[in-house]
């Protein structure tokens, strides 16, 4: 059935929430929130690679893309090594 789609304000397992979405997804919404794609940035949840805007969402879908960029969903690992958790209750990716 796929994994829950990730959007603006959705978090990873470290508590980092998505706050910046790359230009490619600025018109695609899921449940009234912008859809997250690889390269989205978020809040700090520690220091170093976990600091605010130091990490990116990554490892999105190999088959579902928005403007050619992989879409993020629950279970994808961010560049800080935390994974996406939660997400949309009714939109799945994959």
Which class would CATH give 1-83? Answer: mainly beta
Query: Are 18 and 36 within 8 A, CB to CB?
Result: yes
Cα 18 → chain centroid = 6
Has residue 38 got a pLDDT over 90? yes
C-alpha pair distances (Å), 56 with each of 1, 51, 81, 89, 90: 25, 11, 10, 23, 24
Tens of pLDDT, residue by residue over 47-75, are: 999 999 999 999 999 999 999 999 999 99
What's the pTM value of the predicted model, to 2 decimals?
0.93
Q: What is the pLDDT of residue 23?
A: 82
Has residue 1 got a pLDDT over 90? no
Q: What is the pLDDT of residue 50?
A: 98
């Amino acid at each position: 059935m796929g994994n829950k789609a990730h959007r603006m304000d959705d978090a990873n397992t470290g508590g980092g929430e998505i706050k910046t979405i790359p230009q490619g997804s600025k018109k695609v919404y899921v449940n009234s929130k912008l859809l997250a794609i690889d390269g989205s940035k978020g809040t700090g949840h520690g220091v170093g690679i976990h600091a605010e805007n130091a990490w990116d969402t990554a490892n999105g879908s190999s088959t579902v893309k928005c403007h050619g960029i992989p879409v993020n969903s629950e279970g994808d690992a961010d560049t800080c090594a935390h994974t996406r958790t939660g997400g949309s209750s009714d939109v799945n990716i994959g």
